[in-house]
């Protein structure tokens, strides 16, 4: 295997490789750009005109996406995967990955689209660096731009694997984008209805990329869950420019965000069990959260909870109330 296949090891150790550019025997170029950043270019005759950005580790304690990206990089460096797209592969938050924590000073996935200028610390510096790396990658005209920012929600979920489609002025999720997600074994797509400052929102807004946050399935033990293996299989097809089979996967269910629950004070309390599953049904009229005289009562029929996280910093999102746009039919 080429030494650059060990990008994860290099990144965790904070080391620069001796050789920054390497070629596989079949002419694929691997180019180390910065801490945790690898550019992969197919031989020119094999390039199908797609620029695919894959990122993992924005939250350093979400290990499954880091593992999936590491496996892809190693397979590329061994010549087992022959790309027909340009790839930018990013371990997004090395400082948090080294400590295996969600964040060091600030949530990196809230600092894009210039928000990093208002704060300090390692994530602020990294957000600016990632914005620059991505601008360089997406600077070639006339190419298709895709971005999957890989996360794992680290709690059981009624939809094993799902994506979040950032809101972007004047754009709607394209049917072909949903077909691609189906090929990646993504069971649900949550449509945002307002601007945000996540990594995928930045690549969609500034670079017109077909961009999604993808929440990979959680595992119970060391081995990768079946849904993640299906995701990997679809991803490798995409990287190699082959049609992915969607036959065994249902089209993703569409949902939209109804309300964000923002924590205002240390008195904030979520009134659901700590181990509640993502997309669990919220009874109509029930109290979801309360904070200093504020009460969030469920008034949306069919509402479901997503990302309950009462320990976030004040001013941050502590949960989402989401509603399915059609009948909710989890696979399991």
Of 99, 44, 94, give the one whose Cα is nearest residue 69.
Answer: 94
One of 111, 153, 238, 288 touching ligand LFNQLBSZ (CB under 6 A):
153
Residue among 126 and 151 whose Cβ is closer to Zn ion: 151
Q: Check if 215 is active-site.
A: yes
- Does 151 engage in binding with Zn ion (CB under 5 A)? yes
Determine whether the annotation assigns residue 16 to a binding site. no
One of 7, 164, 227, 321 touching ligand LFNQLBSZ (CB under 6 A):
164
* Closest separation in Å from C-beta 298 to ligand LFNQLBSZ: 19
b/e sequence 250-262, b meaning 16+ C-beta within 10 Å? eebbebebbbbbb
* Shortest-Cβ-distance residue relative to Zn ion: 151
* Closest separation in Å from C-beta 74 to ligand LFNQLBSZ: 25
Residue among 237 and 258 whose Cβ is closer to ligand LFNQLBSZ: 258
Torsion of CA 5, 11, 16, 17, to 10 degrees: -10
DSSP string, 33-58: EETTEEEEE--GGG--SEEEEEEE-S
- Does 110 engage in binding with Zn ion (CB under 5 A)? no
- Does 106 engage in binding with Zn ion (CB under 5 A)? no
Can you tell me the distance from the alpha carbon of 290 to that of 308, in angstroms, rounded to the nearest whole number?
Answer: 13
Cβ(108)–Cβ(190) below 8 Å? no
Query: To which residue do tokens 């649900």 refer?
Result: 188
As given in the structure block, the two tokens for residue 276 are 């509640």
Can you tell me the distance from the alpha carbon of 145 to that of 318, in angstroms, rounded to the nearest whole number?
Answer: 31
Can you tell me the distance from the alpha carbon of 29 to that of 126, in angstroms, rounded to the nearest whole number?
Answer: 25
Determine whether the annotation assigns residue 260 to a binding site. no
Q: What backbone torsions phi and psi does residue 90 show, to the nearest 5 degrees? A: -125, 125
CA dist 122 → 92, 106, 108, 176 (Å) = 12, 8, 9, 37
DSSP string, 162-190: EEEE---TT----HHHHHHHHHTT--EEE
3-state secondary structure of 295: strand
One of 203, 213, 230, 253 touching ligand LFNQLBSZ (CB under 6 A):
213
Pick what 213 binds: Zn ion, ligand LFNQLBSZ, none; C-beta below 5 to 8 Å, kind-dependent.
ligand LFNQLBSZ
59-118: contacts with ligand LFNQLBSZ (CB under 6 A) = 59, 109
DSSP state letter for 84: S
Which stretch in 2-10, 146-154, 280-288, 291-299 sits in contact with ligand LFNQLBSZ by CB under 6 A? 146-154
Question: Catalytic residue among 123, 187, 210, 215, which?
Answer: 215
Determine whether the annotation assigns residue 151 to a binding site. yes
26-65: contacts with ligand LFNQLBSZ (CB under 6 A) = 59
Residue among 49 and 330 whose Cβ is closer to ligand LFNQLBSZ: 330
Which stretch in 72-80, 151-159, 265-273, 322-330 sits in contact with ligand LFNQLBSZ by CB under 6 A? 151-159
Cβ neighbours of residue 97 closer than 8 Å, sequence gap 6 or more = 11, 12, 57, 60, 66, 91
Residue among 82 and 109 whose Cβ is closer to ligand LFNQLBSZ: 109
* Closest separation in Å from C-beta 279 to ligand LFNQLBSZ: 12
One of 240, 290, 307, 310 touching ligand LFNQLBSZ (CB under 6 A):
307
Beta bridge partners, 52, equal 87, 146
Which residues of this protein are in contact with Zn ion, per CB under 5 A? 59, 62, 151
Which residues of this protein are in contact with ligand LFNQLBSZ, per CB under 6 A? 59, 109, 151, 153-154, 164, 198, 200, 213, 307, 309
Binding positions for Zn(2+)? 59, 62, 151
The residues carrying an active-site annotation are: 215
């Amino acid at each position: 295997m080429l030494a650059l296949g060990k990008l994860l090891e290099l990144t965790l150790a904070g080391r620069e490789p001796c050789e920054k550019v390497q070629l596989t025997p079949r002419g694929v170029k691997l180019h180390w750009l910065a801490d945790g950043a690898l550019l992969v270019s197919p031989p020119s005759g094999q390039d199908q005109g797609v620029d695919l950005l894959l990122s993992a580790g924005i939250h350093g304690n979400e290990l499954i996406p880091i593992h999936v990206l590491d496996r892809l990089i190693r397979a590329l460096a061994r010549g087992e995967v022959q790309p027909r797209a340009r790839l930018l592969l990013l371990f997004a938050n090395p400082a948090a990955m080294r400590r295996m924590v969600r964040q060091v000073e600030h949530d990196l996935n809230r600092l894009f689209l210039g928000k990093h200028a208002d704060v300090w610390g390692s994530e602020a510096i990294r957000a600016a660096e990632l914005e620059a790396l991505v601008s360089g990658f997406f600077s070639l005209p006339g190419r298709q731009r895709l971005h999957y920012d890989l996360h794992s929600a680290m709690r059981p979920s009624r939809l094993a694997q799902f994506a979040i489609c950032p809101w972007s002025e004047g754009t709607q999720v394209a049917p072909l984008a949903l077909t691609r997600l189906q090929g990646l074994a993504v069971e649900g797509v949550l449509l945002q209805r307002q601007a945000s400052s996540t990594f995928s929102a930045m690549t969609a807004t500034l670079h017109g990329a077909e961009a999604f946050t993808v929440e990979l399935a959680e595992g119970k033990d060391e081995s990768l869950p079946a849904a993640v293996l299906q995701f990997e299989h679809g991803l490798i097809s995409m990287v190699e420019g082959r049609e992915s089979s969607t036959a065994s996967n249902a089209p993703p269910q569409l949902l939209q965000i109804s309300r964000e629950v923002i924590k205002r004070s240390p008195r904030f309390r979520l009134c659901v069990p700590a181990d509640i599953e993502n997309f669990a049904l919220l009874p109509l009229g029930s109290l979801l959260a309360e904070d200093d005289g504020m009460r969030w009562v469920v008034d949306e029929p069919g509402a479901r909870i997503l990302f309950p996280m009462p320990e976030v910093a004040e001013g941050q999102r502590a949960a989402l109330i989401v509603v399915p746009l059609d009948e909710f039919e989890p696979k399991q």
